[in-house]
Structure 1
Amino acid sequence: MSDKQKKFSALKNIGAPVVLMLIIPLLLASCLDDFKGIKKIKVKDPYNPAFAVPVAHVNASLMDMLRFANQDSLAQIDPDKFMRLIYHGHPYKAYLRDYVRVPMQTFTTGPFKYATSNDSVRVTLPVYLSDQTEHVFNFNNGEEITKLKIKSGKLIVRLRSTFRKSGDIDIKINDAKLKNGSDFIHNVAFSFQPAGETFTYDTFDLSGCYFDLSKGGISENTIIVNYIITLNPNSYYIRKTDAFNISISFDDIEFSYIEGFLGVHNIVYTPDSMLLDLFKNVEANKIQFFDPKIYIHFNNSAGIPIRIQPPDISAQSGIYSKQLTGSVLSAPIDLNYPSLQEVGKKSYTLFLATYQNSNVRELTNMAPSNFVSDLDITTNATGKNRNNFATDSSYLTADIVLELPLYGKAKDYRVEFDVNLDSIDMSIIEHIQLNVLSKNEIPIDFGLQFYLADTSRNILDSLVTSSSMLIKSGQVDDSGKVIKASQALTSFTLNKDILDANPDFKKIIIRAQASTLNNGNVNVKIYASNRLEIFTSIYIKLKIDL
């Protein structure tokens, strides 16, 4: 490749950095990297040492910009096109079935004996032994259950007999129903072993069974079981020492419905961190949202009082952290819950922090990188309530939302990045002029500063005066809404004198700055329909020996 070809090849590489200088004010900070791959501008006539090139025409609404930055999913647009940014924490959902548990219950009854004063007696007719016993369920958290419908589980029956007779036992539970709606009766047959004791093991599927544990409405956790044993006649004598023992167990019980006092439980909540990429790569000195809000939407489908202690919410920015404070945190949150007549429904409770009842403005105005939240959740914190209920699908959800209505003011909202030029031969450049014509309906002034720096980012010079604003804000009314677009034509120059004075120049540090009207001292409203239109051209003069 000849020296002339190398110089013109290097010239082509200038195009992308210049376009970046123009476009940067339009970008949200989170999408800057997407523009680093802009195609290089092609020079139509490589032998003309001075020429003008139209660089770009941009005509975009704020919604277009959000869509380009892959942030449009955050935008909520009101019917009048007013915009809000909505951030959600990670969804939280807890099921009551993970806390209200029916532990394994084992009850023993016996010994059953045949009443006789003799050491042994021959009986040629069936022998009946029976008993009615109350069994009380034990729970781990003080639950007092009155109704229980079983989704899955089993009844385990263990029989031990020294009677030398076969037979069967009916296990009848009062106020209990089988899956088909009939009274609960379970029969177990047994056969005696002449050589010793008789052991029998039996299981019964309890799926769909229903138990009233209230003893007719006067108690809780109690079942009344009738045991009826039948010993079939045979030639063996009944001995005075013969005995029959019974053990029943309720095992692996999962409920489909449970009612009563469901105990005091601390519901686990893992602290959540909400990433706020609005401030990614952004230096924000003074940014103020006028009406930010923090919502926590609670939905409770369990019929149980649930108390949330004042939420622990903080904003974090680097090493700094600030807690949410204010009257909104003066008392715990007692969640609404469905009544016994509303099984299958859910009740809604709202926690809302605004600038009127909290310091939420201070949190959002510190340009946080994330919000961290923690919840302390307890059931039945205020005492016993025997009208609790839960189904196997009863749940509690919490959705933490940060709402940032685009109404407020910003001063020196900044973002910066580097453009490396060490591969470009600066000796061919005599003069570069960038012309920008803008029409702006957005109530924000956009400015640019270009710092010439060496490879270590030591600043050598700047191209734009600190007071220059590349694009002027649209004109607003008293409410902060744009009523008229502004127009401006701006030019800036990189010439040979600047290049000669800075021989170590290898990098441009581009700093974009945005401020609302009047240098960030006026509250403005941003609408999705606000548009920004820009026409740009570059005039380039080369120093080339043909």
Structure 2
Amino acid sequence: MKNIRLKNITGFILILLIIMLGYNACVKDNFKYDKLTTNNVEWRPNIAVPVAFATLNLRDLLQDYDSTELLVEDGTGFLYVMYESKVASITAENLINISNQSYSENIPVPDLSIVGNQLYAKKEMVKTFDVIGDERIDSIILKTCSLAVTISSTYKHTGTIKFTFPTIKLNGQIFTVNVPISSASGNFNSIKDYDLSSYHIDLTSGPSNYNQLSYTVELWLDDSSSPVQASDNLSINFDFSSIKFSSAYGYFGQKNINIPLDSIVLEVYANAFQGNASVEDPKMNIYINNSYGMEIKANITNLSGYSNIYQPTPLILPSFYNPITIQGPSFNQIGQSLLTEMFLNKSNCNIKSVMSNLPHYILYSVDAQTNPNATPSLQTNFVLDSSKLDVDIEVELPLYGSAKYFVLQDTTEFDVSKFFKDLNPIDWVMFRTNITNGFPTDIGVQAYFTDSLYNVVDSLFERDTQFISSGVINSEGKVIQSTLQTTDVLFPKNRIKKLENVKYALFRGYASTTNNAQEAVRIYSNYGVEVQLAIQAQFTINQAQSDTIF
């Protein structure tokens, strides 16, 4: 398929209106002035000027405008409006946290023994690695970790203290440090920081085989003439902080994941003002990519269409999609992501009726939970620092359907004083339009001219709306012949006078598919309109005024 960016479906109608107003500078290079001559129209003897000839189709408009929605053209030229939005990305850093760890040891006098000409003590410890709830961590490869070691000694001896963490390793080498006790004053203090980034921690060395950290502390005190006092002591504190993982293994409990209420904007209905429109086969596809090594259960708590015209309409999901179990990769798939897909269409939910209400927004919210079965002894999880849960929604609106009195509205600046300094010499102006409609819709157009406070001063057409009949369609809803309509719009002096205070033009485009919207039609990229515009005007002007009009 061919992908083309589209600014706004209303752009076509707005450009059509602008052309009818003669405001042709906004239509880029589509006008071909050499295609229209005064032979195309018949005027009373007066000043008549051919203004422009334009052939505009959807393919032209798509090439000129750009925005967030994607228009997809298949091999036949049939068009789809596509919206793609990443609605959530739950990263490992936001889901799994490892707490700071602190451990303390003391070596008092009773722990000392004489070995040769030294005093010696050794402590082998297994400590609990603090986790949240019922988490069970077997091992961690550290991305970052800082270990602060604080030592205080009141022994009036020099010596050495050695601490070893046999299950903390880097490239197979055990983390062990010797710290010299360099002062025999009885007031020795040492604070040192160690970077444990990239180290591997095995927490299975204790009796429970998880959440257990072992270490050994050894003390040698040199022979000294100072006696050992009963109150003497050496204390050592280990403080692990800034713990971030590259990967972690174990069981990480039931984490609640909340995707709060948010929305996808459907710009195609942004300017919908009133009326009805129906898309024959709308679709919504939800793609969930999970690279956590654990199962996740998700419940979509809100999925609905919010319209500028109608009440919000809930999209009722089939029971097999809500809740939905999201599988995670196995240990043989570490680093990969598993895709869970949800395909919503008119056969399994009420998406057609939701889209018939012209929703400007699709509202959604989700509650999810990791490890929904909650069996720590039977489940083994893993998580990488790159693990995440991505949720993407794709809305597909094939331009195949019907519309009845569907109204689009927009506003633009339209200051007549920028074109004419003085309107008094103009007696009247007549616009003649020859419009050939190649769309399968009756197109109604109107422009209201307002002052700076948006009070309506006049309109382009004196009647409510000027309708242009649709092209002729076949049994498949495809246009096989265009229709031609000629329209004259007269602005006499009293109407021209009203335009002096005009600052804005409020455009409304009306659309109804053929046969009073009883038949579904298809929109193809080669559909378009041909517009011929000529202007006839009469001036009462003298030489003194000639330089003051324009």
- TM class by shorter chain equals 0.7 to 0.9
2:473 pairs, out of 472, 475, 495, with: 475
Give the letter aligned to residue 128 of structure 1: Y
The one-letter code sitting in structure 2 at the alignment partner of 1:94 is I
Write the distance in 2 (CA, Å) between the matches of 1:158 and 1:351: 55
Q: Name 1:10's counterpart in structure 2.
A: none
**Aligned CA distance change for structure 1 residues 429 and 27 (closer, same or farther; 3 Å):** farther
User: What is the 5 A alignment of 1:495-510?
Assistant: 506=499
Partner of 1:457: 456
2:441 and 2:512 in contact (8 A); partners too: yes
Partner residue of 2:488 out of 488, 492, 504: 492
SS in 2 for 1:361: helix
* Per-residue deviation, 1:488: 1.9
The alpha carbon displacement at 1:428 in A equals: 4.6
Task: Please state whether the residue corresponding to 1:271 is helix, strand or coil.
Answer: strand
Q: Is the 2:448–2:457 Cα contact (8 Å) retained in structure 1? A: no
Q: Go from structure 1 to structure 2 and tell me whether the alpha carbon gap of 1:495 and 1:398 turns closer, same or farther (over 3 Å shift).
A: closer
Q: Find the counterpart in structure 2 of residue 16 from structure 1.
A: none
In structure 2, how many angstroms separate the alpha carbons of the residues matched to 1:485 and 1:287?
Answer: 23
- Of residues 372, 375, 381, the one that matches 2:372 is 381
Contact 2:162 2:217 in 1 (8 A): yes
Q: Deviations over 1:354-388 (max 9, x none)?
A: 22232222332222332222222332233145421
TM-score w.r.t. length of structure 1: 0.80
Candidates 100, 106, 119, aligned match of 1:104 = 100
Q: How many correspondences in the alignment?
A: 506
Q: 1:518 aligns with which of 515, 528, 542?
A: 515
Classify 1:172/1:71 alpha carbon distance in 2 versus 1 (closer, same or farther; 3 Å). closer
SS of structure 1 residue aligned to 2:180: strand
- 2:199 matches 1:209: yes
In the alignment, does 2:130 pair up with 1:138? yes
1:391-414 superposed Cα distances (whole Å, 9 cap, x missing partner): 122122222332211111111222
1:340 aligns with 2:331: yes
Q: Distance in 2 between matches of 1:210 and 1:458?
A: 77
Aligned position for 1:19: none
Asked if 1 retains the 8 angstrom alpha-carbon contact of 2:305 and 2:361, the reply is yes
Is 1:266 the counterpart of 2:251? The answer is no
Moved more, 152-161 or 534-543: 534-543
| Maintained 8 Å contact 1:279/1:367 | yes
Shift in alpha-carbon separation, 1:512–1:169, aligned structure 2, 3 A: same
- State which drifts further: 123-132 or 48-57: 48-57
Q: What is the CA–CA distance in structure 1 between the aligned matches of 2:183 and 2:108, rounded to whole Å?
A: 16
Contact 2:444 2:511 in 1 (8 A): yes
Is the contact between residue 141 and residue 265 of structure 1 (CA under 8 Å) also seen in structure 2? no
Q: What SS does the corresponding residue of 1:326 show, helix, strand or coil?
A: coil
Residues 323-353 of structure 1, C-alpha deviations (whole Å, 9 max, x = no match): 4332436621222211122221111122333
Aligned to 1:289: 279
Per the alignment, do residues 473 and 141 of structure 1 end up closer, same or farther by CA in structure 2, a change over 3 Å counting?
farther
DSSP-derived class of the 1:369 partner: strand
Alpha-carbon distance, 1:536 to partner: 1.3
Corresponding residue of 2:151: 159
Quote how far apart the aligned CAs of 1:135 are.
0.5
Q: Cα RMSD over matched residues?
A: 3.9
| 1:251 maps to 2:236 | no
Q: Is the 8 A contact 1:317 1:369 kept in 2?
A: yes
| SS of equivalent residue, structure 1 residue 376 | strand
C-alpha displacement at 1:146, in angstroms? 0.3
Alignment deviations for residues 223-245 of structure 1 (CA, whole Å, 9 cap, x no partner): 12222222233333444554333
Return the letter of the residue paired with 2:306: Q
1:386-443 C-alpha deviation (Å, 9 max, x unpaired): 4211112212222233221111111122235697779775885467361415161x32
- Contact kept? 1:49, 1:543, Cα under 8 Å: no
What is the identity, as a one-letter code, of the residue corresponding to 1:339? S
The 2-side partners of 1:268 and 1:29 are apart by: 42
Change (3 A) 1:73 1:28: farther
CA drift of 1:463 comes to 4.7
* Equivalent position SS for 2:140: strand
Q: Distance in 2 between matches of 1:151 and 1:387?
A: 21
The offset of 1:105, in angstroms, is 0.9
Given that 1:144 and 1:261 are in contact with CA atoms closer than 8 Å, whether structure 2 keeps it comes out as yes
- The aligned residue for residue 406 of structure 2 is 413
Post-superposition shift, 1:27? 1.7
Specify every segment of 5 or more residues in structure 2 that has no aligned partner in the other structure, as ranges: 1-8, 39-43, 543-550
Partners in 1 of 2:222 and 2:16 — Cα distance?
86
The alignment-based identity, stated in percent, is: 24
Alignment of 1:317-356 (within 5 A): 317-318=307-308, 321-328=311-318, 331-356=322-347
- Please tell me the residue identity of whatever aligns with 1:127: L
Give secondary structure in 2 for the equivalent of 1:140.
Answer: coil
Equivalent residue number for residue 46 of structure 2: 50
